[in-house]
Structure 1
């Protein structure tokens, strides 16, 4: 199968970049499965050694569609757009839509809840390349150091409540993905991190909190933390009830419950090996690619993945803070 992708940034991405990394891993896995993968992308991308054909973008990329090989079987995009012409297109929707936004019939969302709030039932969970997340469990398990792994400046990610809980419980909060602009001996800022530095911070912690105040489409940080055996405490929104089962963490309905869960020692409740296995069984890039290949076949054969065009269903903006 000849599958065309478009991305105007450099791949593989260096450092932070959730969607970009998933896109790259997906292409690499498809190439490994002997499909002909074409990236219309940044000239400095280093993808050829992974078996991916690179077509450098001409100019600023405004007319990238003219560079699509006409013998392609399908085009796979990571943004809401359908390429004019006869080549079938499939779109992965990674973010939440805007009020009134309409998506194409062949749109795929990244969690069940994400699909639901866009009027769809079509989703494939995001995944990671486990070879980039070698399992190195902590020798001593505790419940004193917890992780916040998200864009700290984005209000919906709710660093504010994570800091409040750390100060009230006297547990140590490690912020990766920005910083908290305050002073507390219980809050440790690590800034924007990626690669081995990020992995080292994850491994140094006992558990992660993910107290988002919006309908999280997926939350790649959740499975990144779980890949190292960390249980996760999340809010009840978006994908989190799908991802966080009783064997791998807790769902906290509000800040008070989050504080109780952080304060009480739950280290013996969770088995890090079980958490790692949960990620291996459910969120590997190899499974992700196989699921997409089935959808590619359906779209190439003329099937519409959604019976109606998905639309954003909620009355308020996705970024409007939910109660917690």
Structure 2
């Protein structure tokens, strides 16, 4: 795998020895950092803030609610994150306006914006604006980022995501990460497999139940179920399949999520869309739990087939894959996650992007090299 994703020890040491940067980090307004439950983007932003500070940089964080990060400075958008308004565009616009106000005269080297509306303000900014695409980059979403043009420098979270829209102003690819050591490692597993996520056809919990049942395994399901489309999908497609061997335990907070992941014989991840990065996969592997997944999106970049999980081309192969996964070495999954998806790896990757932009060394050759590295890892 390329050193774009895993910097060599001597390279990382050389980078951290350079003069520190001052980064303005703009988070989505919906959840506090880090989130106590659901909130994958917010979890990544919180981890990146801490990783950058650990590397000696200053970080000014613009976010909602209280925060439990190592940010040097903190500016609050909302006292209480407007989680119940998720999907309403107004909080996004308010967050962008507040970030613009706070950063108007701020002495920062660059702005790293993780919001939807915030990048619209990049054209009037003297510093570079880095945008991480945490969601889809094709269709209407891709059209938005294409229209932003060279006003923003776009970072992909996987090579598969980047391939979906090569027209964007890509500057690099940096995989998401977690604090691996905050996840308990267990070599001894309990008598269930796990599905964890948001209830939707794209995440396919119904397929996970059917695969586990065909494999003769008990399955536990935990996930977000508070928006109307989620409730409707759960009622129509998931609830009829529940029973003694398929149990829904509600939405898991950080503590319960770790307990469930660590105890599971396998995480069943039968995604039905080109998901750019499934955080739950690296969370599972961190606990020593292998991942059984369909070959969609970033899955082949994250899971080492036959070592840290089993990747299949068809859902009909899932039951046999569950059996195979339970025979894998849990230590291999933990080791893989530490080497490739731990916070220091992600922070070093973003630092390389930041320095390239701040120093003005971006060139066609740089972009090609970064793209080639991403492709090699895909």
**TM-score interval, smaller chain:** 0.7 to 0.9
Q: Distance in 1 between matches of 2:63 and 2:315?
A: 43
Q: TM-score w.r.t. structure 1 length?
A: 0.85
Q: Which runs of 5+ in 2 are unaligned?
A: 1-20, 80-93, 225-233, 372-378
Deviation of 1:164 after TM superposition, in Å, equals 1.4
Q: Say yes or no: does 1:52 pair with 2:41.
A: no
1:317 aligns to what? none
Q: Distance in 1 between matches of 2:307 and 2:273?
A: 24
1:74 aligns to what? 110
Match of 1:212 among 259, 267, 271: 271
Q: Tell me the alpha carbon deviations over residues 271-312 of structure 1, each in whole angstroms, 9 at most, x when there is no partner.
A: 1111100100010111100110110011112326758xx9xx
Q: Distance in 2 between matches of 1:204 and 1:294?
A: 37
1:167 aligns to what? 213
Q: Distance in 1 between matches of 2:324 and 2:128?
A: 52
Q: Secondary structure at the match of 2:173?
A: coil
Q: Distance in 1 between matches of 2:293 and 2:244?
A: 24
Deviation of 1:229 after TM superposition, in Å, equals 0.7
2:174 aligns to what? 124
Deviation of 1:202 after TM superposition, in Å, equals 1.1
1:250 aligns to what? 310
Q: TM-score w.r.t. structure 2 length?
A: 0.74
Asked if structure 1 preserves the Cα contact closer than 8 Å seen for 2:202 and 2:271, the reply is yes
1:320 aligns to what? none
Q: Distance in 1 between matches of 2:131 and 2:107?
A: 19
Asked if structure 2 preserves the Cα contact closer than 8 Å seen for 1:111 and 1:125, the reply is yes
Q: Distance in 1 between matches of 2:313 and 2:171?
A: 25
Q: Distance in 2 between matches of 1:173 and 1:28?
A: 35
Q: Secondary structure at the match of 2:95?
A: coil
Asked if structure 2 preserves the Cα contact closer than 8 Å seen for 1:145 and 1:172, the reply is yes
Q: Say yes or no: does 1:20 pair with 2:42.
A: yes
Q: Distance in 2 between matches of 1:116 and 1:61?
A: 30
Asked if structure 2 preserves the Cα contact closer than 8 Å seen for 1:4 and 1:75, the reply is yes
Q: Secondary structure at the match of 1:225?
A: helix
Q: Secondary structure at the match of 1:3?
A: strand
Match of 1:282 among 327, 332, 340: 340
Asked if structure 2 preserves the Cα contact closer than 8 Å seen for 1:115 and 1:122, the reply is no
Deviation of 1:61 after TM superposition, in Å, equals 3.4
Q: Distance in 2 between matches of 1:134 and 1:166?
A: 24
Match of 1:147 among 194, 199, 214: 194
Q: Secondary structure at the match of 2:35?
A: coil
Deviation of 1:98 after TM superposition, in Å, equals 4.3
Deviation of 1:62 after TM superposition, in Å, equals 4.9
1:259 aligns to what? 319
Q: Secondary structure at the match of 1:122?
A: strand
Asked if structure 2 preserves the Cα contact closer than 8 Å seen for 1:126 and 1:218, the reply is yes
Q: Say yes or no: does 1:3 pair with 2:50.
A: no
Q: Distance in 1 between matches of 2:273 and 2:262?
A: 27
1:313 aligns to what? none
The number of aligned residues is 300
Deviation of 1:116 after TM superposition, in Å, equals 0.7
- Closer, same or farther: CA 266–40 of 1 in aligned 2, 3 Å: closer
Deviation of 1:58 after TM superposition, in Å, equals 8.1
Q: Say yes or no: does 1:196 pair with 2:236.
A: no
Deviation of 1:51 after TM superposition, in Å, equals 4.3
Q: Distance in 1 between matches of 2:78 and 2:334?
A: 43
Asked if structure 2 preserves the Cα contact closer than 8 Å seen for 1:207 and 1:230, the reply is yes
Q: Distance in 1 between matches of 2:134 and 2:175?
A: 10
- Closer, same or farther: CA 243–62 of 1 in aligned 2, 3 Å: closer
Q: Which runs of 5+ in 1 are unaligned?
A: 311-324
Q: Distance in 1 between matches of 2:348 and 2:333?
A: 23
Q: Which moved more, 1:96-105 or 1:163-172?
A: 96-105
Task: Tell me which protein shows more helix as a share of its residues.
Answer: 2
Deviation of 1:248 after TM superposition, in Å, equals 0.8
Q: Tell me the alpha carbon deviations over residues 225-270 of structure 1, each in whole angstroms, 9 at most, x when there is no partner.
A: 00111111111111001111121111111121112223x45533x1
